[in-house]
A and B are shown apart, each in its own frame.
Chain A
Amino acid sequence: MTTDLLYSPLNAIHLKEKATMVPFAGWSMPIQYPQGVRHEHNAVRQTSGLFDVSHMGLVVIYGDDAEHTIQNLITNDISTLIDGSSLYTVFCNESGGIIDDCIVYRENNKRYLIILNAANHHKDTEWIKNHLLMDTAFLDLSKDTALIALQGPEAVSLISDLSKDNLQELQRFHFKKALINDLSCTIARTGYTGEDGFEIICNNETSIALWQLLQTNGATPCGLAARDTLRLEAKLCLYGNDIDETTTPYEACLGWLVKPNASDFIGKESLIAQKKQGISKKLVGFVMNDRGIPRQGYPILSCENKPIGKVTSGNAFITQGGAIGMGYVPSEHATIDHNILIDCRGKYISATIVKGSFYSRS
């Protein structure tokens, strides 16, 4: 099957910057710029980095029953949102398997935005359309809007210097309309790197000037490869690697996204039952004890050399050295400080299961 690739409104800038472009979820996107992943990764940890994530899906659900429509689709509790706040959540199927993870933004109780994974865009939009309640409508803005992430310890000061909208006061997971210089956008205090920062929605025409402005003011352009190494260090799940329809939020350590007290949602009964029975497998994070880099698909073994699971994500631990990974193991093995083995192309390398994220900003 050949399909035409979609191009980000920032494509010309990426080409000018000599980024390596790769097809990703139907889009041509920058995987890295000439100075390389390590440089970009460190910029986000130490100063600030700029990501084009315009490939991600952006949909609007609006109408009198928008709130109920969304609550039926998500495991988190939409009633906790106020105007201008957002939450991270998952869509589940009836058996509790994760259809996608996403952020839901409440503009008001009749209008919500949802940012979706690019790879799931078609599946999600079909799922949403099939579950729209009466008096609710759906708009897909994915191709008409750009999405830019500005992440890193200097993100707040960088943006504050360019805006009179008190963006330094914006709370985590809150968003608002703002002007950055004279560029109109919607800006959220969210991200996918383990750092403070913002994700900025703007129209395609504005995005080029906004990108250039942020870059001129010191943000380092970063590609999807750095985004992946950064999110891994923060132990943030990547859909398709660490979560999919065969895994539930409880298994993926995302149980905090399931709110059984929320109004009914798809998958609730299955999830309540699983919570009661207990889970048989669990997503764990591990640190390699010896030289070896875990990669997706590598077998995980018990210390007795028995296969117990597979690596779902892994790479070098760029910020602190060594290597880290994630993967599902049977619950009896999923204890902190428990040792496992990773089969790195025939070499069994010891690893230790650790608690929480690998990297935490100070």
Chain B
Amino acid sequence: MQNYPKNLVYTKDHEWALVTDNIIRVGITQFAVDQLGDVTMVDLPSENQSISKGVIFGSIESVKAVSDLFAPITGTVTKINSALLDAPELINDAPYDNGWMIEVSIDDPNELKELLTATDYEAFIAQ
């Protein structure tokens, strides 16, 4: 199963994070994409905006419904994937790749310990 890459960490809100030094790249998991169906719009924060772990940083709309996006970590947005603004379907096509959403510089690396491994996340969604 390639659904939950081992090099990523996950949240119970169905986001993934790729950690590189002090920066994490964030997106939503294949599980979330499957639940949402076709994505029609994404609202992302602006660059340099602060976000707080567990607090809403944006929203995602699908044909079915609108859902909030929750920050996996506290920090400052350094980059957003502006391609999503015109092509939100990238999230359906490649949730771990071109469908990434934001990059965040981490305030407190200790928060990373609270994120789930791929194995833990798979166990969580299997519940």
Contacts and interface: CB of A to CB of B under 8 A. Distances in A.
Interface of A: 32, 36-38, 225, 229, 291-293, 295, 315-316, 318, 323, 345
A229 B43 CA distance: 21
Instruction: Pick from B38, B41, B59, B64 the residue with the most CB of A within 10 Å.
Output: B38
Nearest to A35: B38
Among B41, B66, B89, max chain A CB count under 10 A is at B41
- The dominant DSSP class at the B interface is mixed
Given A32-B37, A323-B41, 5 more contacts: A37-B64, A38-B89, A229-B63, A293-B40, A293-B41
Interface residues of B, number: 14
Contacts, number: 37
Nearest to A317: B40
Interface string B25-49: 0000000000001101101000000
Q: Which 4 pairs between the two chains have the least Cβ-Cβ distance?
A: A316-B40, A38-B38, A37-B63, A293-B61
Nearest to A20: B37
B74 interface: no
Contacts of B105: none
Contacts of B89: 38
Interface in B1-57: 37-38, 40-41, 43
Given A291-B43, A293-B61, A345-B59, A36 B37 contact: yes
A315 B43 contact: no
A323 B61 CA distance: 11
Contacts of B43: 291
A225 B66 contact: no
Contacts of A295: 65-66
A323 B63 CA distance: 11
A225 B65 CA distance: 11
Please indicate which of the listed interface residues A36, A37, A315, A323 has the most CB atoms of chain B within 10 Å of its own CB: A36
A316 B61 contact: yes
B37 A225 contact: yes
A56 B73 CA distance: 48
A36 B41 contact: no
Contacts of A38: 38, 63, 89
Contact of B63 (A291, A292, A315, A345): A315
A37 B38 contact: yes
25 contacts: A32-B37, A36-B37, A36-B92, A37-B37, A37-B38, A37-B64, A38-B38, A38-B89, A225-B37, A291-B43, A291-B85, A292-B41, A293-B40, A293-B41, A293-B61, A293-B66, A295-B65, A295-B66, A315-B63, A316-B61, A316-B63, A318-B63, A323-B40, A345-B59, A345-B66
A315 B65 CA distance: 9
A179 to B, nearest CB: 37
A295 B66 CA distance: 9
A37 B63 CA distance: 7
A291 B35 CA distance: 23
B13 to A, nearest CB: 18
A156 to B, nearest CB: 27
